[in-house]
């Protein structure tokens, strides 16, 4: 399926999983539209990539930024065949102590942007009968997340939303994939305020592993990709164990680091 992808748009492309997916797409001969807030990083990545690139600076926490990207997705002059909704924010700690503005931005980026950009991309994809969408969720979306309550809830939304849209277009040539990585070594944890030592290094994946797994799963037409075996165990276990157990275990682990 990726053989028919000529041009992809990747949000949150300035670092982490987004940058790795952009590099992997370029390595597969796909033109990439790079979207993020940090223009300097985007231009550095654009110079690095071997294929044609386009830089689009936009803050997805701002409706104006989302509108800018939505218009690019709807363009018929240089159509986008693959949308990768990767941009995301995190907030860790007790909800009562979190910054309301940070929470608001998190919901705008993790939820509103995913919905609005998916909606903007779909009509053109369906009309052209090709391509698709990868929405980046998280294994955090499979279980309640005390001390990351809002983040986990947004990823649960992404999971439900993406699987539903996958089913809506399943009978068409357009494919929608939910990518749910576990903990991945990026700067995301530092920005989100994740305490040091919460996640063991042995259970932490790399951005390159996630990027390759995502594009391979998309090419294979799979509805969901949880890249690492250990994370698949977590995702499966969270669906069969009672939430009273999973939320208490999670809270007992996190409480030691954030209290």
Query: Hey, which residues are catalytic here?
Result: 151
The DSSP secondary-structure symbol of 244 reads H
| Cα distance between residue 213 and residue 234, in whole Å | 18
The DSSP secondary-structure symbol of 259 reads -
Q: Which residues have C-beta within 8 Å of that of residue 132, sequence separation ≥ 6?
A: 1, 81, 82, 83, 125, 174, 175, 176, 177, 218
Angle of the 113-128 helix axis to the 63-74 helix axis, nearest 10? 10
Q: Which residues have C-beta within 8 Å of that of residue 112, sequence separation ≥ 6?
A: 66
| Cα distance between residue 56 and residue 36, in whole Å | 7
Residue 231 has phi, psi (to 5 degrees) of: -70, -30
| Cα distance between residue 159 and residue 85, in whole Å | 12
| Cα distance between residue 60 and residue 38, in whole Å | 12
């Amino acid at each position: 399926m990726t053989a028919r992808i000529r041009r992809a748009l990747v949000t949150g492309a300035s670092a982490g999983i987004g940058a790795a997916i952009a590099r992997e797409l370029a390595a597969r001969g796909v033109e990439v539209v790079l979207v993020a807030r940090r223009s300097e990083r985007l231009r550095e990545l654009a110079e690095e990539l071997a294929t044609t690139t386009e830089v689009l600076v936009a803050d997805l926490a701002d409706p104006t930024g989302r509108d800018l990207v939505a218009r690019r997705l709807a363009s018929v002059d240089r159509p986008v065949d693959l949308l990768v909704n990767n941009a995301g924010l995190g907030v860790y700690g007790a909800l009562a102590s979190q910054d309301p503005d940070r929470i608001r931005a998190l919901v705008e980026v993790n939820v509103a942007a995913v919905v609005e950009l998916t909606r903007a991309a779909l009509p053109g994809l369906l009309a052209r009968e090709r391509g698709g969408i990868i929405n980046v969720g998280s294994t955090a979306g499979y279980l309640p997340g005390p001390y990351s309550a809002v983040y986990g809830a947004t990823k649960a939304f992404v999971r439900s939303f993406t699987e539903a849209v996958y089913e809506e277009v399943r009978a068409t040539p357009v494919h929608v994939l939910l990518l749910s990585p576990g903990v991945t070594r990026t700067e995301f944890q530092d920005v989100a305020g994740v305490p040091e030592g919460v996640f063991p290094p042995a259970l932490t994946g790399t951005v390159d592993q996630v990027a390759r797994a995502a594009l391979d799963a998309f090419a294979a037409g799979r509805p969901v990709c949880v890249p690492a075996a250990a994370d698949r165990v977590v995702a499966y276990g969270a669906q069969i164990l009672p939430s009273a157990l999973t939320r208490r275990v999670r809270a007992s682990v996190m409480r030691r680091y954030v209290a």
